[in-house]
Amino acid sequence: MPRSKIKNTILAKTYLKNDLNATKTMRKLKPHITNGTAKFYGSKMLNNAGFQRALKDEMDSQGITSEKLTELLNRNMGQENNLPASNTAIDMAFKVRGDYAPEKKLNVNLTLQGKELDKAIKEKLEEIKLLSDA
Protein backbone atom coordinates (compact mmCIF):
# COMPACT_ATOMS: atom_id res chain seq x y z
CA MET A 1 0.00 0.00 0.00
CA PRO A 2 1.45 3.41 -0.93
CA ARG A 3 2.41 5.81 1.84
CA SER A 4 0.15 8.77 2.43
CA LYS A 5 1.13 12.26 1.36
CA ILE A 6 1.22 13.33 5.01
CA LYS A 7 3.60 10.51 5.96
CA ASN A 8 5.86 11.33 3.01
CA THR A 9 5.90 15.00 4.06
CA ILE A 10 6.88 14.02 7.62
CA LEU A 11 9.63 11.77 6.24
CA ALA A 12 10.89 14.57 3.97
CA LYS A 13 10.97 17.14 6.79
CA THR A 14 12.76 14.72 9.12
CA TYR A 15 15.19 13.76 6.36
CA LEU A 16 16.12 17.41 5.80
CA LYS A 17 16.53 18.00 9.56
CA ASN A 18 18.93 15.04 9.70
CA ASP A 19 21.30 16.47 7.06
CA LEU A 20 20.02 14.22 4.25
CA ASN A 21 20.90 11.07 6.20
CA ALA A 22 18.26 8.40 5.58
CA THR A 23 19.51 6.07 8.34
CA LYS A 24 19.37 8.85 10.96
CA THR A 25 15.90 9.76 9.71
CA MET A 26 14.60 6.23 10.20
CA ARG A 27 16.29 5.95 13.64
CA LYS A 28 14.67 9.25 14.67
CA LEU A 29 11.20 8.14 13.58
CA LYS A 30 11.56 4.52 14.71
CA PRO A 31 14.03 4.48 17.64
CA HIS A 32 13.32 0.81 18.41
CA ILE A 33 14.79 -0.55 15.15
CA THR A 34 18.39 -1.68 14.67
CA ASN A 35 20.91 0.28 12.64
CA GLY A 36 20.82 -2.34 9.87
CA THR A 37 17.04 -2.14 9.68
CA ALA A 38 17.24 1.67 9.65
CA LYS A 39 19.63 1.49 6.67
CA PHE A 40 17.25 -0.87 4.87
CA TYR A 41 14.18 1.31 5.45
CA GLY A 42 16.19 4.44 4.63
CA SER A 43 17.14 2.99 1.27
CA LYS A 44 13.52 2.08 0.53
CA MET A 45 12.45 5.58 1.53
CA LEU A 46 14.94 7.25 -0.83
CA ASN A 47 13.68 5.22 -3.79
CA ASN A 48 9.98 5.89 -3.12
CA ALA A 49 8.44 8.20 -5.76
CA GLY A 50 5.96 9.71 -3.27
CA PHE A 51 8.80 10.54 -0.89
CA GLN A 52 10.82 12.12 -3.70
CA ARG A 53 7.87 14.36 -4.65
CA ALA A 54 7.37 15.35 -1.00
CA LEU A 55 11.11 16.01 -0.63
CA LYS A 56 11.18 18.29 -3.68
CA ASP A 57 8.16 20.21 -2.36
CA GLU A 58 9.74 20.51 1.10
CA MET A 59 13.09 21.60 -0.35
CA ASP A 60 11.33 24.28 -2.38
CA SER A 61 9.39 25.50 0.65
CA GLN A 62 12.55 25.64 2.80
CA GLY A 63 14.57 27.40 0.11
CA ILE A 64 17.18 24.68 -0.21
CA THR A 65 19.20 25.71 -3.21
CA SER A 66 21.85 24.12 -5.34
CA GLU A 67 24.38 26.29 -3.49
CA LYS A 68 23.37 24.72 -0.15
CA LEU A 69 23.77 21.24 -1.63
CA THR A 70 27.17 22.17 -3.05
CA GLU A 71 28.19 23.37 0.42
CA LEU A 72 27.22 19.97 1.87
CA LEU A 73 29.17 18.22 -0.86
CA ASN A 74 32.23 20.34 -0.05
CA ARG A 75 31.83 19.41 3.62
CA ASN A 76 31.90 15.74 2.66
CA MET A 77 35.20 16.15 0.88
CA GLY A 78 36.88 16.55 4.28
CA GLN A 79 34.77 13.95 6.07
CA GLU A 80 35.86 10.37 6.75
CA ASN A 81 32.83 8.73 8.40
CA ASN A 82 29.69 7.68 6.55
CA LEU A 83 30.83 9.46 3.40
CA PRO A 84 29.11 7.16 0.85
CA ALA A 85 25.70 7.49 2.51
CA SER A 86 25.93 11.25 2.72
CA ASN A 87 27.13 11.60 -0.87
CA THR A 88 24.30 9.36 -2.05
CA ALA A 89 21.83 11.60 -0.24
CA ILE A 90 23.30 14.75 -1.76
CA ASP A 91 23.32 13.12 -5.20
CA MET A 92 19.66 12.25 -4.82
CA ALA A 93 18.85 15.79 -3.65
CA PHE A 94 20.51 17.24 -6.75
CA LYS A 95 18.44 14.85 -8.88
CA VAL A 96 15.21 15.75 -7.07
CA ARG A 97 15.91 19.44 -7.59
CA GLY A 98 16.46 18.77 -11.30
CA ASP A 99 20.09 19.91 -11.32
CA TYR A 100 21.14 16.90 -13.38
CA ALA A 101 20.24 16.31 -16.98
CA PRO A 102 17.49 13.71 -17.11
CA GLU A 103 18.60 10.13 -17.52
CA LYS A 104 17.87 8.75 -20.94
CA LYS A 105 16.30 5.33 -21.12
CA LEU A 106 15.33 3.23 -24.06
CA ASN A 107 12.88 0.37 -23.78
CA VAL A 108 12.74 -2.01 -26.68
CA ASN A 109 10.21 -4.79 -27.08
CA LEU A 110 11.09 -7.43 -29.61
CA THR A 111 8.69 -10.08 -30.81
CA LEU A 112 10.14 -12.92 -32.84
CA GLN A 113 8.29 -15.91 -34.22
CA GLY A 114 9.12 -19.00 -36.24
CA LYS A 115 12.24 -18.71 -38.39
CA GLU A 116 13.16 -15.31 -36.95
CA LEU A 117 13.15 -16.78 -33.45
CA ASP A 118 15.23 -19.79 -34.51
CA LYS A 119 17.75 -17.50 -36.21
CA ALA A 120 17.99 -15.21 -33.16
CA ILE A 121 18.50 -18.19 -30.83
CA LYS A 122 21.21 -19.60 -33.11
CA GLU A 123 23.02 -16.23 -33.18
CA LYS A 124 22.89 -15.93 -29.38
CA LEU A 125 24.18 -19.48 -28.90
CA GLU A 126 27.09 -18.74 -31.26
CA GLU A 127 27.80 -15.53 -29.35
CA ILE A 128 27.78 -17.43 -26.03
CA LYS A 129 30.14 -20.04 -27.47
CA LEU A 130 32.55 -17.34 -28.67
CA LEU A 131 32.49 -15.64 -25.28
CA SER A 132 33.04 -18.88 -23.38
CA ASP A 133 36.00 -19.82 -25.64
CA ALA A 134 37.69 -16.47 -25.02
pLDDT at residue 23 in the model: 92
Question: What mean pLDDT do residues 65-86 have?
Answer: 75
pTM over cut 0.85 = no
pLDDT tens for 1-24 read 567 889 999 999 999 898 888 999
Orientation of helix 66-77 relative to helix 83-97, angle to 10°: 160
pLDDT tens for 77-94 read 777 776 677 777 777 777
Domain assignments of the chain as residue spans, ordered by start? 5-97
Burial 29-63 (b: 16+ CB within 10 A, else e): beeeeeeeebbebbeebbebebbbebbbebbeeee
Q: Where does the pLDDT of residue 33 fall: very low under 50, low under 70, confident under 90, or very high at 90 and above?
A: very high
Residue positions counted in the chain: 134
Q: Where does the pLDDT of residue 101 fall: very low under 50, low under 70, confident under 90, or very high at 90 and above?
A: low
Stretch (H or E) spanning 13:
helix 5-17
